[in-house]
Amino acid sequence: MTSLSPALLFIIAGCLLPLIPASTRRYVALLVPVIGIALLLLTPHGSYGQVSIFGLELTTYRLDKLAFVWALIFHIAAFIGALYAFHLKDTVQQVAALLYQGAAIGAVLAGDMITLFVWWELTAIASVFLIWARRTERAYRVGMRYLMIQIGSGVILLTGVLMHLHDTGSIAFDNLGLTSVATLLIFISFGIKCAFPFLHNWLQDSYPEATVTGTVILSAFTTKLAVYALARGYAGTEILIWIGAAMTAFPIFFAVIENDLRRVLAYSLNNQLGFMVVGVGIGTEMALNGTAAHAFSHILYKALLFMAMGAVLYRVKTIKASELGGLYKSMPWTTFFCIIGSLSISAFPLFSGFISKSMILTAVAVEHHTVVWLILLMASAGVMDHSGIKIPFFAFFAHDSGKRCEEAPLNMLWAMGIAAFLCIAIGVYPDALYAIMPYPVDYAPYTTAHVITQLQLLMFSALAFTVLFLTGLYPPEIKSVNLDTDWLYRKAAVKIIAPVSTAVASTQAMLFTGLATLTQRSLSKIDQLVGPQAWLTRSVDSTGMVGLITATLLVFLMFYLW
């Protein structure tokens, strides 16, 4: 038994990694998650690491059933990510990944909101280096936008926490509810990181611009940490039901027209988050179990899909659907693993997505949210279209692009193989996952009604895609950059700010020019008065001095007599 937080293991390893010989750093990145899982399993549920600072009681390590689910899958994702990146010798990415993973785990295990804030901000600072590590001008600009939004989320969180402390005298990280301005600010902070509608574009903007391995790691932690925070602090908050429903629906339309396949997966990630947010909003034991199970499954199959697309980018140097096709001939194993990921995210029976998504849909139906249930059903069909079919079809089949390359590196294939195995294992034997859920699970996914309904949905989705594609009605894959609400700050704001900035710069230049001119003239006048040639500083003879003194005495005498 131990009370050492696994998060500290990641942080210490990340800080010491540059001092370790380069040849052994990747082994350290693999070993740390394994040791972390051991620490997690050996620690009894409870609160540890209580610290008193400025009169505030911090609980830096709280392990309960809800935190355990996220901490465990975060460790598994860290191991798979380290294996996928095993071929790398980039110290920046290795250090950033360990610090980022440790911060996410630390936030999940935080028992108070001050500790949560510290880890929350560290996830933002560490993760941006996985974008900048691509070392391009575009990655730098994207990283700056990402960092501003993530840091902004932390500032809003801190503001809400301090206001909540002032209102209640408590910093405990438990169910908060929308009861005050303070809890609303905290809710917004969580919503930014969870990519709520209109707050979501940092996700599609940044993840596809990260490195090949960085995108895989990013996909597992930030948004799922936000889902955990919502489940911990806002379970049963009804507005989340409608927010989540919107999240499942709107990304479908952008994913269908998107040409960059990693960006398609980013929109798909947003869509899957919506199911989890709906589960949190429902707030029943079944819904929260479904949210936890879906977060667990989603991290695995989404990482698998990002790994497959990352392998394509690594070998072919492009991830544009319009430039791909026919790669199944060169990358058969990557194709196979991608198809498993696609079946999982589409929630085919016997794959992980089915046993978790169906639980959320059932919880929604039980609570009689008919409209929301229909939206989720439509969104499930959309997932089949853009992630279940579009991703593998356009990357590996569609038309033959003529590109020929080597299969993905062996370590990448092993990482994809582990994720694929877990996707199938969870789907075939869901009881293993259900056993670690926050609440007792009384749910059977493999009923005749569940299986037939899902298969009908998926088959009709596949039929719709086929008809649209063969008739030429399916949106073509063209070279383009699609903007949605990020148009507001990437285009509109620039058009508004640019003229203002120009006017301010012109005014500033005029002020500085005028000040410089005034200063120069003042100095010239002073030089005329007291400079080397000024009359006040000239040397005078004794006769002149006697005359000046006499005149001064006469003036003084006149004033005195007056």
Q: Residue 268's pLDDT is what? A: 92
Q: Residue 104's pLDDT is what? A: 97
Do residues 360 and 274 share a domain? yes
Query: 545 versus 87: which is more confidently predicted?
Result: 87
Q: Residue 242's pLDDT is what? A: 96
Query: Is position 545 within any domain?
Result: yes
Do residues 474 and 501 share a domain? no
Q: How far is CA 527 from CA 190, 516, 520, 540, in A?
A: 64, 16, 11, 19
Q: Residue 510's pLDDT is what? A: 82
Q: Among 198, 161, 152, which residue's Cα sits nearest to residue 180?
A: 161
Do residues 469 and 497 share a domain? no
Residues 6+ apart with CB under 8 A from 126: 14, 96, 99, 100, 103
Q: 47 exposed, middle or buried (CB, 10 Å; 0-12, 13-18, 19+)?
A: middle
Query: Is position 348 within any domain?
Result: yes
Query: Is position 444 within any domain?
Result: yes
Query: Is position 486 within any domain?
Result: no
Do residues 472 and 507 share a domain? no
Reported as a pLDDT band with limits 50, 70 and 90, residue 560 is low
Strands 56-63 and 46-53: antiparallel
Q: Residue 526's pLDDT is what? A: 66
Element housing 252 (H / E): helix 239-257
* Coil, strand or helix at 53: strand
Q: How far is CA 85 from CA 214, 265, 301, 309, in A?
A: 9, 20, 17, 14
Q: How far apart are CA 289 and CA 506, in angstroms?
A: 59
Q: Among 173, 216, 205, which residue's Cα sits nearest to residue 85?
A: 216
Q: Is the pLDDT at 533 greater than 70, yes or no? A: no
Do residues 117 and 211 share a domain? yes
Reported as a pLDDT band with limits 50, 70 and 90, residue 562 is low
Q: Is the pLDDT at 263 greater than 80, yes or no? A: yes
Adjacent-strand bridge partners of 46: 63
Q: Among 266, 227, 203, 221, which residue's Cα sits nearest to residue 98?
A: 221
* Coil, strand or helix at 495: helix
Q: At which residue do the structure tokens 């009923």 appear?
A: 447
Q: Is the pLDDT at 334 greater than 70, yes or no? A: yes
Reported as a pLDDT band with limits 50, 70 and 90, residue 207 is very high
Instruction: Specify whether the CB–CB gap between 270 and 294 falls below 8 A.
Output: no
Q: Residue 386's pLDDT is what? A: 80
Do residues 317 and 180 share a domain? no
Q: How far apart are CA 271 and CA 284, in angstroms?
A: 21
* Coil, strand or helix at 57: strand
Query: Is position 280 within any domain?
Result: yes
Query: Is position 381 within any domain?
Result: yes
Q: How far apart are CA 161 and CA 114, in angstroms?
A: 7
Do residues 240 and 143 share a domain? no
Q: How far is CA 266 from CA 199, 218, 346, 391, in A?
A: 14, 11, 15, 12
Which one of 459, 481, 503 terminates a domain?
481
Q: Whole domain around residue 510: which residue ranges? A: 491-561
Which one of 178, 209, 234 terminates a domain?
234
Q: Is the pLDDT at 92 greater than 80, yes or no? A: yes
Which one of 481, 509, 533 terminates a domain?
481
Q: Residue 141's pLDDT is what? A: 93
Q: Residue 261's pLDDT is what? A: 92
Q: Residue 238's pLDDT is what? A: 94
Do residues 133 and 152 share a domain? yes
Query: Is position 368 within any domain?
Result: yes
How many helices and strands (H and E) does the chain possess? Answer: 22, 2
Q: Among 297, 279, 359, 336, which residue's Cα sits nearest to residue 76?
A: 297
Q: Is the pLDDT at 372 greater than 60, yes or no? A: yes
* Coil, strand or helix at 74: helix
pLDDT in tens, 462-484: 888 888 888 887 777 677 677 67
Do residues 424 and 300 share a domain? yes
Reported as a pLDDT band with limits 50, 70 and 90, residue 535 is low
Q: Residue 544's pLDDT is what? A: 61
Task: Provide DSSP, 320-377.
Answer: BGGG---GGGT-HHHHHHHHHHHHHHTT-TTSHHHHHHHHHHHHHHHTT-HHHHHHHH
What are the φ/ψ torsions at residue 89 (nearest 5 degrees)?
-125, 30
Q: How far apart are CA 13 and CA 9, in angstroms?
A: 6
Instruction: Specify whether the CB–CB gap between 496 and 272 falls below 8 A.
Output: no
Do residues 166 and 297 share a domain? no
Do residues 45 and 15 share a domain? yes
Q: How many CB atoms lie within 10 A of CB 455?
A: 12
Q: How far apart are CA 451 and CA 435, in angstroms?
A: 22
Task: Please tell me the total count of domains within the chain.
Answer: 3
Query: Is position 7 within any domain?
Result: yes
Do residues 244 and 357 share a domain? yes
- Calculate mean pLDDT across residues 375-399: 88
